[in-house]
Amino acid sequence: MEISKKTFVREYTRAIWDGTAAIFAGAGTSRESGFVNWKELLRPMSEEIKLDIEKENDYLAVAQYYKDASRSRGAINQSIMDCFSNGVTENEKVEILARLPISTYWTTNYDELIEDALKRNNRKVDVKMDSDQLAMVRPDRDAVVYKMHGDVNHAARAVLTKEDYMFYEKNRPLFRTLLKSDLLTKHFLFVGFSFNDPNIDFIMGQISTFLGENTGTHYWLTTKAQREEGETEEEYRYNLRKQEMKSNELAYYGIKTVYTDTYKEVTEVLRDIERAVKLNNVFISGSADCYGSWTKEAAELLAEKIAAELVKENFRVVSGFGIGIGSSVINGALREIYASKYKHTGKYLTLRPFPQGIKDEAERKATFTKYRTDMIAETGIAIFLFGNKKDSADPEKIINADGCMEEYQIAKKNGNIIIPIGSTGYAAEEILKEIEGDMTSYSYLKKYMGTLKTEKDIDKLVSVIMEIVKEQRS
């Protein structure tokens, strides 16, 4: 069954938000980093036993023939080490997969790209490559990577030959059981995967036998068959039809096919998913030592209502606990969470108070900048209100908050949807005026600028803000 990229992004983003998404990464995800696929790994071995790899479809058999001919697995182990231990180039696909808020990753790859990318993104990873590791849980882990065919650092135990598959259940008990469990309870994205693996066929067949048409929903993101150089029209049409038949077969297992026209477009679709996920996270920036033409009570009510409505519509509120505003944001979010979200606080509210007690000014500034950058990087929308503070040189004087302005610059660089409530004055007003001078980059605000600039009716402001954010998520 084929579905559109837009439908896929919407459905899979929902699964990520619900915490039911998982990734299954095949050899195609490692290609950009310079790693070989199964075919290229076996090419030297096939040549040595005088077989033409271009004429072979059963790569398991080729690996088995080579082992049988050499009467040793040593050369296979060395080949795996040689091919998957070299330096790698940057791989945006893997980086995006590692940044997504997903905790379950499965792969048939021997390389360490996924776990290394997770570590670079400050995520504590628990790698499982042998059955005896399944019973152990790494404390405070953020993600689990199941390497069901082994790892480059343990090449002697890697799954590659037909014999390895025959004895898979004996040598790696529970891996298939665990994968079946995940396939029943999660929504998988298969990426860089060809579905030529006997293990996956076996597992999907068992699930289908047990559940019939009541299987879960999964997705196969792949490039549509292209006409290769030197390929006849008849050969191209044959390959295209074969791919369509594979898609029909996968539909029987609950796997929807998402086609891209080019290999590069796979990365673009993953970017769309990441952006859609971020659009669920709304950063509220603001501070107030003074409320200007607003009363303190009205300002707090505005912040509370914005936060409450965002939570009500299933957005996650992210706050740095700005002075005079932060507590109201938290109150509004918590009130709605406890009223309608089964107390799932972590899902709907992320509170990031700034570090205190840093006396060195340069260190403090650098720390706050990094803190703001990391916090905003998780979000796709940024709302600005008020934004002022007392002048350190003259406490009687109120000035625009430089921290709020820095958050605006970071959000702009991050590509966030920016919503300044200019009617609250101060930094928010300054941001709105800057946006007015460049409306081509903020076309989504065009019909709302008048309201954001002058409106002080709280309900009208909240209504407009919610209209903007829901438009971006649709």
389 - beta bridge partners? 399
- How are strands ordered across the β-sheet holding 316-319? 349-351, 316-319, 281-285, 381-385, 417-421
Rounded Cα gap, residues 451 and 463, in angstroms:
10
d(CA 297, CA 145): 49
Output the six-digit token pair for 244: 């369509």
Write the burial class of residue 234 (CB in 10 Å: 0-12 exposed, 13-18 middle, 19+ buried).
exposed
Phi, psi for residue 248 in degrees, rounded to 5: -65, -40
Count of other CB atoms within 10 angstroms of residue 56 = 14
First vs last C-alpha separation in the chain? 24
Is residue 187 flagged as an active site residue?
no
Tell me how long the chain is: 474
CA distance linking residue 36 with residue 51, whole number of Å: 19
Q: Is residue 178 a contact partner of residue 134, using CB atoms and an 8 Å limit? A: yes
Q: Residue for token digits 């088995």?
A: 64
The amino acid present at 134, given as its one-letter code, is L
**Contact predicate 285/376, CB 8 Å:** no
Which one of the listed residues 149, 154, 218, 344 is annotated catalytic? Answer: 149
Residues linked to residue 398 through DSSP beta bridges, in sequence order? 390
291-295-301 Cα angle (round to 5): 100
Round to whole Å and give the CA distance between 421 and 455: 9
Q: Among all residues, which ones are annotated catalytic?
A: 149
